[in-house]
Amino acid sequence: MKLRLGAVSLLLAVSAACADSGQSSGDDAERVDPSSSTSEQSSTPTSTPTTTPTSKPATKGPCAPLDAATIRELTGEDLQGQEATVPGSDLPACLYGRLDGVGVQVAQVPAGEWARALPALADQIEAADALGDQELRRRLEEGAQLIESGRTIPSERACGLFTDLLELQRDVPAGSDYVITYIPSDKDPQAASGQACVDGTFTSVGVGMPGLEVGAELEAALEAALQEALASTTSS
């Protein structure tokens, strides 16, 4: 199922890197990038799952979730992973190749860590005058206020806020916890990202390359990679 959705999207692994490499598009200028406080890139979410992945809190290093065959399926190349951080944050990630060339970035963190971006996300939503359920917006604003006061948000509750962000978009099914997004849009894709928040763990798998082709093949490869990353959290 392909959805053309509205104002709010969830990006972590690749959006800031695309911004750093100077890529931009005016197609979706009013969309919000709610998981990177430093990026001004927009995005078009395109799909949600028919089944919900399950996971437990991650216990391995950032380069553990995906194997070499999965990286090759996403990029067509054999790339070595190295520990890194998500651009614009101190969240751990694994970078294969280069996101300003051909690369994959994987991030898997407790959702409470992802929630630290909520104040910036709330500001972006307000600036974009995003439409949506006012109760969802109220919950997001409350979460942002907790972070601003120096408190933390339990990871299970943070996954609920992730879902709230998805539901602020038009036509997103209630309870969605997974999305595939093109960056900056599916009309001019520089990168794509699959993201999920399940059982208190936020997971993102992003791929970027010249000539990235929008379509079912890429989305299926991203979905498979995301499911593999989620499955890896069940073993130590």
Looking at the domain assignment, is residue 3 inside a domain?
A: no
Would you state the pLDDT for residue 179?
87
Looking at the domain assignment, is residue 62 inside a domain?
A: yes
Would you state the pLDDT for residue 16?
40
Give the helix/strand (H/E) hosting 180: strand 178-183
Buried b (16+ CB within 10 A) or exposed e, 148-159: eeeeebebebbb
Q: Whole domain around residue 104: which residue ranges?
A: 15-232
Looking at the domain assignment, is residue 113 inside a domain?
A: yes
Q: Is residue 235 very low, low, confident or very high in pLDDT (cuts 50, 70, 90)?
A: low
Looking at the domain assignment, is residue 69 inside a domain?
A: yes
Would you state the pLDDT for residue 33?
41
Buried b (16+ CB within 10 A) or exposed e, 178-187: bbbbbbbbbe
Looking at the domain assignment, is residue 132 inside a domain?
A: yes
Q: Which two tokens stand for residue 137?
A: 């917006």
> Which residue bears the tokens 């036509």?
171
Domain count within the chain: 1
For residue 58, pLDDT over 60 is answered with no
pLDDT tens, residue by residue, 91-112: 899 999 987 899 999 999 999 9
CA angle centred on 200, ends 72 and 108, rounded to 5°: 30
Looking at the domain assignment, is residue 136 inside a domain?
A: yes
Rounded to two decimals, the pTM is 0.75
Looking at the domain assignment, is residue 7 inside a domain?
A: no
Question: What is the mean predicted confidence (pLDDT) over 107-133?
Answer: 80
Looking at the domain assignment, is residue 8 inside a domain?
A: no
